[in-house]
Structure 1
Amino acid sequence: MAKNASFEALTVETLPARLGALETLAGHLGKDVSAWRVREVGDGNLNLVFIVEGEKGSVVVKQALPYVRLVGESWPLPLKRSFFEYHALVRQEARAGKGSVPAILHFDEAQALIVMEFLTPHIILRKELIAGRQPPRIAEDLGLFVARTLFRGSDLHMTARERKVDLALFADNVELCDITENLVFTDPYFEATLNRHTPALDPLVAELRADRDLKVEAQRLKHLFAANAETLLHGDLHTGSIMVTDADTRVIDPEFAFYGPMAFDVGMLLSNFWMSYFSQSGHEQGGSREAMRAYLLETVTGIWSVFRAEFSRLWRTERTGMLYARSLFEDRSDALGAEQALDRVLHDLWQDLLGFAGVEAHRRILGLAHNADFETIENEAKRAVCEAKALRFGRHIAVNRRTIHSIEEVNALAALIEKGAYS
């Protein structure tokens, strides 16, 4: 704890005095610190988040804590995770384009805090989906984001030296990787201390935890996650890490960033849309959600279609790294060979993303960190029905991922399960 001796957690009361001397904040908020209005809005598992409003505008201040906020001081975490979040945001903006993430205004490594643009009137995407709203741009924006960040952060695009230096920097994000390795791939499949689930799921949970094929597949995916440092990942890309308006989409909270398999970010993202799909019947008090379910499956199809198209475009125009060198293909008038290699890369990515999507559904229902799609369904019996469908769906796509050939096939499976025509 000695190395954190100078660290002091912010509060609503202390924030103005401690940050008031920063010229950047004065420029965005106004110099009269007494006029700043501070409110804490963080509802996540790890950090403090404040909105600060002044005469001239508003900012967000995010500060890491030396422990997991969801659990408390019994689970310590290094403050350095804010360092990784800062560097990930910088790289994501460079690779996906300005306006893809919040703009960074100030970073203080010692105090583990980032001051960034206040996104308004943006809403957390998960909240919009729970409310039954249908943001029109997310398939296009998210498909482009994942394609550009994953491709441009890999050996397909970066020089070998540049990527290895970057890999070394993010390799120190050990503790947050450990959280993912345990909470996603291992804990849901046995009686881990911090697990929790809806009691009515007990028989299905016992079935899944006795499922040898599922457990072997989950560990194969964990092996892939730990050993395949393909590209810089967001590391926690879900609908709670995305803020939207009808005209804009921003990705936030990349503190789990590290170098891992490309398929991980895509699988996590799509899984959260499929979970939203299965949760909709639990939110139908105000009327049918059939149109919302159709929208969610269309969004999944759109994200994957845009991802494939943009990844393929980048392959053909920006493949300047050490992998699949143009000197072996295009420079020898063998464009067809480059296309064959692209097909193989996308094929492997497709199979792996299905596996990651499946285990993500399991950990969000059986592990420590649940999501609001299901948690906000107050009727426990309805919640259990929705969660059981997502669990069965997750099991199928994880175990059978090598025999599933299209996004349409996966969506058709989801529709069958939702209708009760699959068991």
Structure 2
Amino acid sequence: MAAYKARLQEFDTVLSQGVIDIKKVRKLCFSGAPDEAGRRALCWKLLLHYLPLDTSQWNDTLNKKRAQYRHFVEEMVVEPARLSKNGSGNNHVDDHPLNPNPDSPWGSYFKDNEVLAQIDKDVRRLCPDIMFFQRGTEFPCKLIVDDPEVERLHRRVTHSSLSASSVTRKGLGITKMESSNRRSTTTEDYHPLPPGSEAHWEVVERILFIYAKLNPGQSYVQGMNEIIGPIYFTFASDSNVSHRENAEADCFWCFISLMGEIRDFFIRTLDESESGIGAMMERLMSNLKQHDYQLWNRLRVQELRPQFFSFRWLTLLLSQEFDLPDVIRVWDSLFADANRFTYLIQVCTAMMVMQRDVMMQNDFACNMKILQNYPPVDVQVLLSKATELVENPGENCCDTTNTEESS
């Protein structure tokens, strides 16, 4: 207990400086950020480049960014909702729902609904291992819940017509990114709350919809809901009431920042580029070969390709491999690493190395099951193993002579 209090004091000392020493923040968060008093939420806002290092600029930054997000809500959610409720608001003959012009307000409205339908399906199943996202937020968006003329986003799509397996992600031979993970065992979708209130999943839906509107080239891609979930949960659980009240806006900007770093993973045309997911999978297998040649060769002989399992690991930053509290702990280290994706490669390598004894004996099917449904593990032990790999970059723990090992 004394050691933990001393650690909290270390965080407080670093976070109370007039100008934050980001290297010290990274060093502290790499070993895990504490939830108490909103320390983790604050650290993530710094590590995701939302807050400037000069603390005297924090209030101005927050006020500006939160006001800008409110404007996005008004422009992209509230105004179109009023259009659908009341019509175009004028008598021009070309402003009606059957207008074939794709540039008309109605054309845009219906096109948006195609994206919204996928977002709605995904957020209704977000983090089923906890009850948080189906509960009501204490701070529903007043622009929406207080205005009877504004239609809530989920009412714009007919959820009952959506198929749970309707979307595939083409490229690299990968189908559903959410397939075969133990966290998606729920069969019931979250339901909307009564008028005047909003569930947390509805808030996440709004953030993702606005992101898609602002990024029409990329729009929304299945799996982004898994990226935003841990960030929103962390901010909406902040002990500071003011920060909880603005969790939606703050989460939006941090999500924007994080997606700026990993957006190439979600763009199919960049799969084989240096910044794409294909290159990341090559780096992962090269790293495994360096640290455990025999295991790498076992997977090679079995033709157990990284596309079969690591596509989801890398694209979604391991958010579907562990329960939410463990994901958040892993993300402390990922966000704290100055070369963030280098450490992600090490964590994924450690996941395979920690299962080497059984995988060296298993056949293809059993190994595939392990990698697609990773067994429960103490993430602190996993991260320690990943750090050990970092500290021993040239160490090859196994004999490399038997290169023609049979399956």
TM-score by length of 1: 0.22
TM-score by length of 2: 0.23
Higher Cα radius of gyration: 2
Which of the two has greater strand per residue?
1
